[in-house]
Amino acid sequence: MQICSWISTKMAEDQSHYVELSGNPIRFEPISRQTNVFYDEVKRQVFAVRSGGAFGVVVKGTDEKTSTTFRMEDKGPVISIKFSADLRILAVQRSQRTVEFINFHSGSADTTEYSQTCKGKTTKINGFNWISGNEIIFITDHGLELYQVTAEKKTLRSLKTISIGINWFTFMNDSSLLLVSSSTLGNVLTPIHFKTGNVTKLPKFEVDLPVIPKPPKLCLLERDVTIAILYSVIYVVVLRHQPRGPSNQGAEIVLYQVQRESPAKKTDVLRLDMSGRFAVNVVDNLVVVHHQASKTSMVFDIGLAPSETDNNCNYHHPVLAPLPIKPVKLKVAGIPTQTGLEMREVGVDLYSPNWVVFQPNIVIDAKLGCLWHISLRLDALVPMIPDKCRLIDFLLLRRESKKVILYVLQTALVPGQHCNLATIAKIFNKLNEVYRTYLAERHAHHAEEASSPKSSQSAARVSSGTRVVIDQSDMYTHVLTPVAERKDSSHKFLVAVLVEYIRSLNQYQIPVQHFLYELVINTLVHHNCFYQLHQFLQYHVLSDSKPIACLLLSLESCYPPAYQLALDMLKRLTTANEEIIEVLLSKNQILAALRFLRSVGGAESASSRKFLEAALNAEDDMLFYTVFKFFEQRNLRMRGNPMFAPGEHCEKFVHKFEQKFGYESFVPVQ
């Protein structure tokens, strides 16, 4: 019930927003006449450069290791500034032809700079990016120049040059992919992949344009294109504005899947049904689109079934209706007091014209001096998707959704507002399909480890792709047991749900844990549904197992037939001979135990002492005589001698037999 209470509290807070900004933004000095602000998408650092660096450069990263301050000589306005991956070299572009480098030692800047000018007298540098510890790529209007930087010698060595006309570019470090725009219209895009020392040009492709201007001019702009990773696949994301007119259905986002051997192919279209200025983030494999005019955001999930499909292209509508980002307040310095500046909270202007978004989930307001991370409020969107099956499909694809899924499952079984059994069955199938995949992957991983432990990655993590796994223990602890404990629950409905869950597990060939069967049995017994219990066992709705048999034995006092049901179950198992004998002996059915022992051929290994003790305690001389003679004959067959071996510790019973029946009653020793 704790999960249910936690989610309910979160949902009660606010149900009109499902996108939010991080509570503690990275704060930096706002942009001004003296201060320029830059963001490095690779290292995820914000640079606040005062007066060209002469008055200091403040670098804010995601943690203290990537944050620093330093000064550098003012040699003119900074166009771009970025640290190498190890933070040992700073690259600064102040002109269209040259990039300067500054070495850092223990966080302090070297006083001597060195530089590299691009090749060609008329070539201009559009930008640059570090692609490894000491390799840097210059993107010029004439192509690409790859250099290796040697910090100790303060030199650069050219590794590779690629000639290609470039209008603009975008770079994604997570995939080591650079995308460059060529042609007059700008719609010919070439993906370029980097690997230490190597540059691989992937096949170029052409982006469809809604209208081609006359005369032709650059119409696919950098601001409308980005690279994203969705469900481990790289896509080029293109915002496509529709021409104005009565037939305008609004803008759309087109996804092109990047491929190594062939041109990127158009796979998905996200229909925005709006026009104006948009910005795109990627959060948890979702495309989050912000619309400035309406001040709302919408969410698309290409992992869900599309609205329609045409020519191998999937068309998607927003998962939810567009809603604004959750309002956020910022602490700012207020009125000076004797103890210092009094802090006050002010509301942030959401969807501000000053906002700039970066991939995957960054929003920067340079004028305000804040960097936020965009995130999704899964708890808030639960009531916004009334179709429980679609909701589960959506949540299974989210990384941190386990608590929310368990809450949805629990509420789906709440008395008075529960889903029908058909819907519950579909939900169970969706959960167990993922669960089965996870178990298969784990089995394959363990098999690989066993066959080649040295080559196996010890840190390899078993996963079910990107989907959350809800196993039987989760269901039992957080869903089924809490529902069973509710006083207003219908035991008939609960049993039906349990049977449906067991059916689904069997359908996906997942071994059912005994605690689920126990919950069924205990529920039936608690409500005196013994006939139904008998039927479930008779028709094998409840599978045979030792724990279930033991539970049935414990129910004999309230339901006498449970004893025979348990005994029959143990016999069917064929691996529970010892347990059957124990049960028979505990019921003083000693001769029945001997007959069973003989039928399964277990007399040779049986403990004669255990049987003789039980027979003696029964205070029936004829029974004791029969058991003693049974084991005498066994000893004779095994060893050619009727006497008990010293290790069997049967001296007490031999003495008792002699007392009761006389020495002459022993089988003569040959």
Q: What is the pLDDT of residues 105-118, one digit of tens each?
A: 877 888 889 999 99
* Residues of the chain above pLDDT 70, percent: 92
pLDDT of residue 232: 92
Could you tell me which residue, 5 or 263, shows the higher pLDDT?
263
Confidence of residue 248 (pLDDT cuts 50, 70, 90): low
Measure the CA–CA gap between 622 and 477, rounded to whole angstroms: 53
Indicate if the pLDDT at residue 493 is higher than 50. Answer: yes
Indicate if the pLDDT at residue 359 is higher than 70. Answer: yes
Which tokens is 584 given?
A: 């028979």
Q: Which of 202-216, 287-301, 488-502, 532-546 has the lowest mean pLDDT?
A: 532-546
Cis before residue 511, ω within 30 degrees of 0?
no
Measure the CA–CA gap between 35 and 51, rounded to whole angstroms: 6
Indicate if the pLDDT at residue 460 is higher than 50. Answer: no
pLDDT of residue 12: 47
Could you tell me which residue, 646 or 455, shows the higher pLDDT?
646
pLDDT of residue 188: 95
pLDDT of residue 193: 93
Average pLDDT score over residue span 467-472: 91
Average pLDDT score over residue span 617-646: 85
* Residues of the chain above pLDDT 90, percent: 51
From residue 475, give the alpha-carbon distance in Å to each of 379, 407, 431, 497: 19, 11, 10, 12
Indicate if the pLDDT at residue 604 is higher than 90. Answer: no
Q: What is the pLDDT of residues 195-211, one digit of tens each?
A: 877 889 999 999 998 88
pLDDT of residue 370: 93
Measure the CA–CA gap between 202 and 3, rounded to whole angstroms: 48
Indicate if the pLDDT at residue 301 is higher than 60. Answer: yes
pLDDT of residue 392: 95
| Average pLDDT of the chain, as a whole number | 87
> Could you count the other beta carbons within 10 Å of the beta carbon of residue 353?
9
Indicate if the pLDDT at residue 608 is higher than 90. Answer: no
pLDDT of residue 249: 75
Measure the CA–CA gap between 480 and 515, rounded to whole angstroms: 11
Q: What is the pLDDT of residues 314-349, one digit of tens each?
A: 999 999 999 999 999 888 765 555 666 666 778 889
For 48, counting Cβ atoms within 10 Å of its Cβ (0-12 exposed, 13-18 middle, 19+ buried), the class is: buried
Average pLDDT score over residue span 635-646: 84
Confidence of residue 373 (pLDDT cuts 50, 70, 90): very high
Indicate if the pLDDT at residue 145 is higher than 70. Answer: yes
Average pLDDT score over residue span 447-464: 51
Indicate if the pLDDT at residue 56 is higher than 90. Answer: no
Indicate if the pLDDT at residue 419 is higher than 70. Answer: yes
Average pLDDT score over residue span 502-527: 92
Q: Which helix (H) or strand (E) holds 92?
A: strand 89-93
* Domains of the chain from N-terminus onward: 173-324 (2.40.128), 382-448+464-664 (no CATH)
Furthest-apart CA pair in the chain: how many Å? 125
Q: Are 579 and 569 in contact (CB under 8 A)?
A: no
Indicate if the pLDDT at residue 658 is higher than 50. Answer: yes
pLDDT of residue 211: 84
- The full DSSP string for 649-670 is --HHHHHHHHHHH-GGGSPPP-
Q: What is the pLDDT of residues 423-454, one digit of tens each?
A: 999 999 999 999 999 999 888 877 777 766 54
Average pLDDT score over residue span 531-556: 83
What are phi and psi for residue 545, nearest 5 degrees? -165, 155
pLDDT of residue 10: 52
Q: Which of 197-206, 280-289, 587-596 has the lowest mean pLDDT?
A: 587-596
pLDDT of residue 605: 75
Q: Is residue 173 classed as helix, strand or coil in its secondary structure?
A: helix
Indicate if the pLDDT at residue 571 is higher than 90. Answer: no
Measure the CA–CA gap between 567 and 578, rounded to whole angstroms: 12
